[in-house]
Structure 1
Amino acid sequence: MLALIAGTGALPDEVVSHLETKPIICAMEGFIPDRLTADIVFPLEHLGSFIADLKGRGVTEICMAGAVKRPQIDPSRIDSATMPLVPVIQQALMSGDDSALRAVIGILEETGLKVRAAHEIAPALLPQLGCLTDTQPSDDDLADADRAAGILRAMGTADVGQACAVSKGQALVIESIFGTDWMLQSLTQRPDAGGGVLFKAPKPDQDRRADLPTIGPGTVSGAVAAGLTGIVIEKGGVIVLDQERVVEECDRLGLFLYVRERAN
């Protein structure tokens, strides 16, 4: 049996829409799904009891999908089943995003639960290789994508972000803790004539079972507002939400959406 730990945003609902059997929907307090009704809501301070509850219900697999920010822990709420996990949880909250996710996955797997990626249980979330739009990238656009891939590799060593924008070989902006939408918003006041590509890919050594980067219709709007000419993503590494609409919006607005091979 599968349990989905759902955060905010469109991804949890889209994952469920691709499944033949509805999973048990779970949510952490403070991060209730936008479009799904949670069967179980738990505080992080009761993580141990939550895991025991899942196993008692016959759950053997877990998928994590959606946005969850780092919560504040109230020591007075920690229950006895969670107390042994506190050192790992505290270390995770002080680590970078990928390190924190690895710690959470480790806790789940040590109890015998198998953690599965969203794109593993719903493979249609990942688009195929090549250009998906009527507008095609130029050689300069592809060169900017190569440059962006190198920048992301460097960012990945510091566990920083999963996106950047590059124009004429120069980095315009890189993603921080505030996310892609904020990053694109910061380009709306750029002083040049526009142009460049948004590039998105996982961190080089990222555990792809959680927090795989995503784009959606809002990303297209943000790229246009930022004055960019297209979006490049890594094959097998970026989820496209509402893919049909994303392609339609790119075609309507004259952007390209290109899926490139994973960089070496």
Structure 2
Amino acid sequence: MIGLIFGDTDFPIEILKTIKKKKINYLIIDLSKSKKFKKDKKSYSVSIGQFGKIINILKKSNCKKILFAGKVDKPNLSELKLDIKGIYYIPRIIKASKLGDAAILKEIIKILAQNKIKTENSLIFNPELYLKKGNFSKIKPNKQDQLDITKAIKTLNSLREYNFSQGVVVRNQKVISIEGKGGTKKMLEKSRSKKFRNHGVLVKFPKKKQDLRVDLPTIGLKTLKQSKTAGLKGIVVKNKQHVFLDKIKCIKFANKNKMFISVK
């Protein structure tokens, strides 16, 4: 039995397809905004503050392993629905929240571990959703692109440990935009240029000292299209430390639009 703690994005849907195909016994803790898994008979809709309920559901089903997938927004602590265990654990969550989203996830993993529930890597069932080191498009980064990529990686590495940013846009060795709370879409909207077309790069790497079992940078066809609209030439992710959705469609789109997809 595997417990699936699901948030938003299409990543959880891909995991669920694989688990059903392999006939693995599962249950879902649905933390998505729209409760997108409510039609699944094995799904439980709960608040992130209901630790007692979450732990009881897992233990009642003899579920000793879980995985996280999908985006779970930082909770509004004043509006959280808390149960008794939630009240007990909330001071730790509040303390972690001051350090950022990554710290909250780390604290939740610790709480589950104390209750003898192990967190698995989110790609354990779907290794096909990451790319290995190399170039996956006909177009390859040129010298100028490589300089932009180096600048972007240095920028991400310089951010503090619990900064929520996983992405940065660099053009002509100048940092154009760093991912904020609005996510990749808003960052790319800020990066649009009328002057430069097919110029600049989006780099998406895990946060510094991130727990690589959860919250990996996710790329999909929407990201490629938004990058094209922003006038960028390519996207770079880190070897085996990302989720790449719609892989074939993304590569076709990149080739058609003379963009590159590169893995460092």
Q: Is the 2:102–2:162 contact (alpha carbons within 8 Å) kept by the matching residues of 1?
A: no
Provide TM-score, normalisation by structure 2. 0.90
- Unaligned segments of structure 1, at least 5 residues: none
Residue 92 of structure 1 pairs with residue 92 of structure 2:
no
Aligned to 2:169: 165
Aligned to 1:24: 27
* SS of alignment partner, residue 227 of structure 1: coil
User: How far 1:52 sits from its partner (Å)?
Assistant: 1.7
* SS of alignment partner, residue 232 of structure 1: strand
Q: Is the 2:48–2:80 contact (alpha carbons within 8 Å) kept by the matching residues of 1?
A: no
Matches of 1:76 and 1:105, distance apart in 2: 19
* SS of alignment partner, residue 212 of structure 1: coil
Q: In angstroms, what is the RMSD of aligned CA positions?
A: 2.1
Matches of 1:162 and 1:76, distance apart in 2: 26
Alignment match of 2:219 (pick from 205, 212, 215): 215
- Unaligned segments of structure 2, at least 5 residues: none
Aligned to 1:50: 54
Matches of 1:178 and 1:193, distance apart in 2: 24
> Letter of the aligned partner of 1:141 in structure 2?
D
* SS of alignment partner, residue 85 of structure 2: coil
Residue 60 of structure 1 pairs with residue 64 of structure 2:
yes
Q: Is the 1:8–1:34 contact (alpha carbons within 8 Å) kept by the matching residues of 2?
A: no
> Letter of the aligned partner of 1:128 in structure 2?
K
Aligned to 2:229: 225
User: How far 1:34 sits from its partner (Å)?
Assistant: 6.9
Residue 80 of structure 1 pairs with residue 66 of structure 2:
no
User: How far 1:111 sits from its partner (Å)?
Assistant: 0.6
Matches of 1:29 and 1:16, distance apart in 2: 14
Mapping of residues 1-264 of structure 1, within 5 Å? 1-19=1-19, 20=22, 21=24, 23-28=26-31, 30=33, 32-33=35-36, 37=40, 39-73=43-77, 77-157=81-161, 159-188=163-192, 190=193, 192-194=195-197, 195-260=199-264
User: How far 1:130 sits from its partner (Å)?
Assistant: 0.6
User: How far 1:187 sits from its partner (Å)?
Assistant: 1.8
* SS of alignment partner, residue 4 of structure 2: strand
> Letter of the aligned partner of 2:85 in structure 1?
A
Q: Is the 1:187–1:226 contact (alpha carbons within 8 Å) kept by the matching residues of 2?
A: yes
User: How far 1:77 sits from its partner (Å)?
Assistant: 4.5
User: How far 1:183 sits from its partner (Å)?
Assistant: 0.5
Matches of 1:76 and 1:241, distance apart in 2: 32
Q: Which moved more, 1:111-120 or 1:213-222?
A: 111-120
Q: Is the 1:16–1:22 contact (alpha carbons within 8 Å) kept by the matching residues of 2?
A: no
> Letter of the aligned partner of 2:242 in structure 1?
V
Cα deviation digits, residues 84-118 of structure 1 (max 9, x gap): 21211222333311111111111111111110121
Matches of 1:197 and 1:45, distance apart in 2: 38
Q: Which moved more, 1:158-167 or 1:6-15?
A: 158-167
Provide TM-score, normalisation by structure 1. 0.90
> Letter of the aligned partner of 1:151 in structure 2?
T
* SS of alignment partner, residue 237 of structure 1: coil
Q: Where has structure 1 moved over 4 Å in runs of 4 or more?
A: 73-77
User: How far 1:74 sits from its partner (Å)?
Assistant: 5.8
Matches of 1:24 and 1:220, distance apart in 2: 32
Change (3 A) 1:76 1:228: closer
User: How far 1:214 sits from its partner (Å)?
Assistant: 0.6
Change (3 A) 1:193 1:79: closer
**Identity across matched positions, percent:** 27
User: How far 1:12 sits from its partner (Å)?
Assistant: 0.2
> Letter of the aligned partner of 1:8 in structure 2?
D
Q: Which moved more, 1:222-231 or 1:162-171?
A: 162-171
